[in-house]
Amino acid sequence: MLLSIIRLTSGQTCYDTGNFTTNSTYGKNRDLFLSSLASNVTANKGFYTSTIGQIPDAVYGLALCRGDSTPESCASCLNFTVRDMMKNCPNQKEAISWGGMDFPCVVRYSNRSFFGKLELKPTEVNHNINNITSSLTQFDRIWRSLMDRVLAKASSGNSKLKFATEEANLTSSETIYALMQCTPDISQSDCEFCLRQSMADLQSCCYGKKGSYVLGPSCIFRWEMYPFYGATADSLSPSPLSPPSTTTDTTTTKDKGGNSISSGTVIIIVVSTSIFIIALVALVTCVFLRRRKQKQDLTKADEINTVESLQFDFSTIRDATNNFSTDNKLGQGGFGAVYKGRLSHGQEIAVKRLSKNSVQGELEFKNEVLLVARLQHRNLVRLLGFSFEGTERLLIYEF
């Protein structure tokens, strides 16, 4: 299938395969997919697919975070990418973005189903400006051996994660670092083919460079001459300061008037000063902790009021969706079905009915609702509230 594409910025592509109009059914379905993407992806270990709506207005969506991302960096990348896509591809029926290079993520939606299908285009390719200075013959041998190992590990992953990293020494002072990942919905053979094509792309465009990457719809591949994956907050934090060493001075010192001061007097002065400083620090700490606790209590009270104000009566939502009728069903995602409904005062809503096998308790569910509410963006579908009864968990969005 040949597709025409419009490239706007590095890492993002809007397909020129058709547009939708503002407030159209397709547009609302697209916005519904993007609105809670970060929470859905992080809850599903970094990979999420969903189908919203019915043909011809169905939206097929996929999101993937890099295998070494933390939940925080994954959510941050997704939120940034969604805002960027809404801005640069506001009315395109199909788009893809790879986020940023520090912790990239893939966000893709379309009006055609692409789940489980290998797609090699479009791609984003780039390379380091510096050149390899060691023997290219030696480099080629070590580079290819390393990439073959990483490719084998990544492609042999499971339906949840196809990701691998590894490094190899080029010289005593230089190391090659490699990362490969496929979308978990494609087969092992398709993943291997995609990554080998990416290797060929880099060999043809970027041979001899000190690092490069290729980003595609079905796989990503990056290698560098420096570590760029797996960094954690702990490894980046400074080491704790060492306490000052203490020595005992048994000599006698003199004051300005020439009078001698015994070592015992010096010790008493030092100890007294230390006790005073410790007491002062303890007092300041107690005052700080007491004020922080007061602020936390106020914040907690505000959060409780916020959460309670978002809660809908379960029977109200059940009536609005005609008891979750199949005629009202918009689509099915990885965490449950989505239904269209109408409140008694006429407002249209979209209701996500979460899977009943969820292990979330009432408190965890309320906390997640509060998190999603805080992540609202003016270009996304607004979260109106939530409802629950027994094992039922509902999220209510503007439609």
pLDDT tens-place string over residues 317-372:
999 999 999 888 888 766 678 889 999 888 999 898 887 665 455 666 666 666 66
Query: What percentage of the chain carries pLDDT values higher than 70?
Result: 74
Tell me the per-residue pLDDT of 107-147, one tens digit each, with 9 for 90 and over: 999 999 999 999 999 999 999 999 999 899 999 999 999 99
CATH topology of domain 124-224: Killer Toxin P4; Chain A (3.30.430)
Amino acid at 127: H
* Residue whose C-alpha is closest to residue 61's, from 94, 39, 15: 94
pLDDT range class, residue 286, cuts 50, 70, 90: confident
The pLDDT score that the predictor gives to residue 2 is 34
pLDDT in tens, 32-54: 999 989 999 999 999 999 999 99
6 — pLDDT class (breaks 50, 70, 90): very low
d(Cα 395, Cα 148) in Å, to the nearest integer? 45
For all residues of the chain together, what is the average pLDDT?
A: 81
Q: What is the pLDDT of residue 239?
A: 34
Domain 5-110 and domain 124-224, same fold? Reply is yes
Give strand pairing partners of 254. Answer: 260
Query: For the chain, how many residues are written?
Result: 399
The predicted pLDDT at position 384 comes to 86
Phi, psi of 182 (to 5 degrees): -115, 155
Does the global pTM surpass 0.75? no
* CATH T-level fold of 5-110: Killer Toxin P4; Chain A (3.30.430)
Tell me the two tokens of residue 96.
């893809």
d(CA 381, CA 278): 53
Domain over 314-398 is classified CATH 3.30.200.20: yes
383 close to 376: Cβ distance less than 8 angstroms: yes
d(CA 220, CA 44): 20
Q: Where are the domains of the chain?
A: 5-110, 124-224, 314-398
Alpha carbon distance 367, 303 (integer Å): 9
Q: Residue 237 pLDDT > 60, yes or no?
A: no
- pLDDT band, very low/low/confident/very high, at 279 (cuts 50, 70, 90): confident
Mean pLDDT value of segment 83-109:
88
Q: Is 352 annotated as a binding residue?
A: yes
